[in-house]
A and B are shown apart, each in its own frame.
Chain A
Amino acid sequence: MSNTATADGPEARASATVKPELMTWDSRARRVVTLYVPLACFVIILLFPFYWMAVTAFKPNAELYDYKTYNPFWISSPTLDHIRHLLFNTSYPRWLWTTMLVAIASTFLSLFASVLAAYAIQRLRFRGSQYVGLAIYLAYLVPPSILFIPLATMVFQLGLFDTPFALILTYPTFLVPFCTWLLIGYFKSIPYELEECALIDGATRLQILMQITLPLAVPGLISAGIFSFTLSWNEFIYALAFIQSSESKTVPVAILTELVSGDVYQWGALMAGSLLGSLPVAIFYSFFVDYYVSSLTGAVKE
């Protein structure tokens, strides 16, 4: 900047009172154009489907299918009809309950398994623990799309088909690798000296895990828990393949398979269902955004 000022020195001196103002205005305009305008576009585009979901969910049908007389971006007479239909004429509460149950159970199961595994890999340091850690990491790269067909035959043979246990037991296949990896990183950040002190004081390994490492790893546990919960809430392909009866479906599957019926789509009800189905995760997430972001980025940085 100083270069340009000296380069056109005479001119700059001549308009000394005008130039700096112009410069600041210029840089501010530049900042608006290069930073705020693109950022606003991003935010609008990223949020628009949610806005559209919400607007559709509260619109009466007359407005929904008439863009000529009503402005589609706004609701002139909001209604709760779609939500009432969803709550009282379908098994939506039941689906929400099943989803919640499955998500919580599989989260606890995978947290239990991953805490022990991460502790063994990171702290007990047996021979070959690095390779076990790597194998668990690689397990995360195996996508559910490859596994669901053989898993469906297994689930059928085990007699779990159409029960929540089919989902509770299969969700850990993608939750455990992720949580273990996250917790290994977290345990790494806890000073080893604390455990050495406890060992010298005569604590057993299990006491150390329960009374020293775990309380210190609570933030890590919370982020692993949030992640597992949202991942299980969002899971689709296993729930679609392993659950058949209408009552024990999870929300994402049920909305797509139960609410979409016939040729005329009930867009209002569909959007209300999507909105209600997204809300629990969104609320849950909004309380723990920072944990979520740190675990997301922490896991990638590992």
Chain B
Amino acid sequence: MSVTATATWKNVRQEPSRLVRLFDWKPFLVFICMLPAVGLLAVFLTYPLGLGIWLAFTDTMIGRGGSWVGLENFEYLMEDPVFWNAVFYSVFYTAFATIGKFALGLWLALLLNQHLPFKSLLRAIVLLPWITPTVLSAIAFWWIYDPQFSIVSYIVVDVLGLRETYIDFLGSAWPARWSLIAANIWRGIPFVAICLLAGLQTISPSLYEAALLDGATPWQRFTQITVPLLMPILAIVMTFSIIFTFTDFQLVYAITRGGPVNSTHLMATLAFQRGIPGGQLAEGAAIAVAMIPFLVFATLFTYFGMARRKWQQGEAND
């Protein structure tokens, strides 16, 4: 009896095979687990980033390898009015689109934060502009901005009678610039609103009740409770929004392709135009690299400017 018991006991505990043991060895397992992600990112993100910076200092063209030319590309760009116009419009576009998106997005978030019927349906509808492919909604805007058959012009001229002539949205520089900003705001509102709504929902209602008891006006409640408590999430959303607005490509490429007369080129569209159809890879890379300082500055500015409150309270590492 006792003999059989020990025998089966021995059989139960099998030595795991070498392969199983290898996969249970932590350093190896960590290596295997990190390999696909780190490999993909290293090959298709880190390496191209470095390659892009290197290309900016060469004279590479499509079909021809380049050699080191130092700062020549940047010197050329410094004297290129089209480049400076792109820099100007990128900053202008980012600034106004961000202001518009956050003002309207915050407003929409505040509206959605109230008691409403069909709240989840509303939330789903509101997100639609953000999930549909940008280019496709941009084409819809292109049609809305059509010089002859613009529906906005129709409403303004034929329905409301505010103007005599149809608006030429994309035909000249400034209207085209503002039209693109409007389209970008339209597309950006949902993201901002839904993110800020999530932030608003984390604010405890008891704070508002306490403020109400203390006799705070709605405006005071907004500036003294909502805004400070929303700041950390606002900082993150704004960093994201600024980065992706500044490097925006699709909207401008789809609606104006940089026209009329290069007045609506963003740095990304100019880089594409010079680099891929134009064949001047090095010059395109130089324009793309010129975006990096702006992005770093914008990130640091929004992050440290707005999230300061958070890390002063020592909550940075949660």
A49 touches B120 (CB 8 A): no
- With known contacts A234-B133, A255-B139, A153–B60 Cβ distance under 8 A: yes
Quick check: which of B124-132, B173-181, B221-229 contacts chain A, the rest being far away? B124-132
Partner of B122 from A43, A120, A180 at Cβ < 8 Å = A43
> In the docked arrangement, what's the CA distance between A64 and B198, Å?
41
Q: Which residues of B contact A281 (CB under 8 A)?
A: 131-133
- What CA separation (Å) do A140 and B199 show in the bound complex? 21
Q: Are A146 and B291 within 8 A (Cβ)?
A: yes
A204 in contact with B236 (CB, 8 Å): no
Give the docked Cα–Cα distance between A230 and B136 (Å).
Answer: 13
Q: B103 at interface (Cβ–Cβ under 8 A)?
A: no
Verify B38–A237 contact, CB threshold 8 A: no
Q: Is the CB of A282 within 8 A of B128?
A: yes
**With A154-B51, A300-B237 known to touch, is A53 a contact of B38 (CB < 8 Å)?**
no
Q: How far is the CA of A278 from the CA of B233 in the complex (A)?
A: 29
Residues A236 and B143 in contact in the complex (CB < 8 Å), given A136-B41, A176-B37: no
A289 / chain B contacts, CB cutoff of 8 Å? 120, 123-124, 127
Given contacts A297-B198, A301-B198, contact A149 B275 (CB under 8 A): yes
CA distance A56 to B151 in the complex (A): 11
Q: Which of A18-26, A89-97, A111-119 contacts B (4 or more CB under 8 A)?
A: A111-119
**Interface hits, B90-125 → A, CB 8 Å:** 104, 107-108, 111-112, 114, 116, 120, 122-125
Interface residues as binary, A172-216 with B (CB distance below 8 Å gives 1, 0 otherwise): 110011001000000000000000000000001110000000000
Contact mask B26-45 → A, CB, 8 Å, 1/0? 11011011111110110011
Residues of chain B contacted by A47 (CB below 8 angstroms):
125, 128
The count of A-to-B residue pairs whose CB atoms sit within 8 angstroms is 278
- Bound together, the chains give a CA A180 to CA B49 distance in angstroms of 20
Contacts of B48 in A (CB 8 A): 147, 150-151, 154
Segment from B67-75, B76-84, B187-195, B305-313 that makes contact with A? B187-195
Which partner residue on chain B sits nearest A3 by CB separation? B215
**Which one, B35, B137, B154, B289, contacts A146 given CB within 8 A?**
B289
Q: Is the CB of B40 within 8 A of A173?
A: yes
A160 to B239, CA, bound (A): 34
Give the interface size bracket for A toward B.
35 or more
Do B189 and A46 have beta carbons less than 8 Å apart? yes
Known contacts A49-B137, A286-B124; decide if A65 and B149 are in contact (CB<8 Å): yes
Partner among A49, A112, A113, A252 whose Cβ is within 8 Å of the Cβ of B186: A49
Q: Is the CB of B262 closer than 8 A to any CB of chain A?
A: no
B292 within 8 A of A: yes
A132 CB–B CB distance under 8 Å: yes
- Chain B positions within 8 Å of A172 at CB level: 40-41, 44
> A236-B249, A278-B133 in contact; A206/B23 too (CB < 8 A)?
yes
* A149-B277 Cα distance, complex, nearest whole Å: 11
Provide the residues of chain A in CB contact with B276, threshold 8 Å.
148-149, 152, 240-241
Report yes or no: B32 in contact with A116, Cβ–Cβ below 8 A.
yes
Query: In the complex, A151→B55 CA distance in Å?
Result: 11
Check B243 against A49 for contact (C-beta < 8 Å): no
Q: A49-B137, A72-B154 are in contact. Are A120 and B186 (CB under 8 A)?
A: no
Does A98 make an interface contact (CB < 8 A)?
no
Q: What A residues does B30 contact at CB under 8 A?
A: 120, 124, 126
Which positions in A face B, CB cutoff 8 Å? Answer: 35, 38-39, 42-43, 45-47, 49-50, 52-53, 56, 64-65, 67, 72, 109-110, 112-114, 116-117, 119-121, 124, 126, 132, 136, 139, 141-154, 169-170, 172-173, 176-177, 180, 204-206, 230, 233-234, 236-237, 240-241, 251-253, 255-256, 267, 270-271, 273-274, 277-278, 281-282, 285-286, 289-290, 292-293, 296-297, 300-301
Contacts A42-B104, A282-B128 given; 11 further ones with Cβ under 8 A? A67-B158, A110-B40, A141-B240, A144-B249, A152-B276, A154-B48, A169-B40, A237-B250, A267-B149, A285-B127, A301-B233
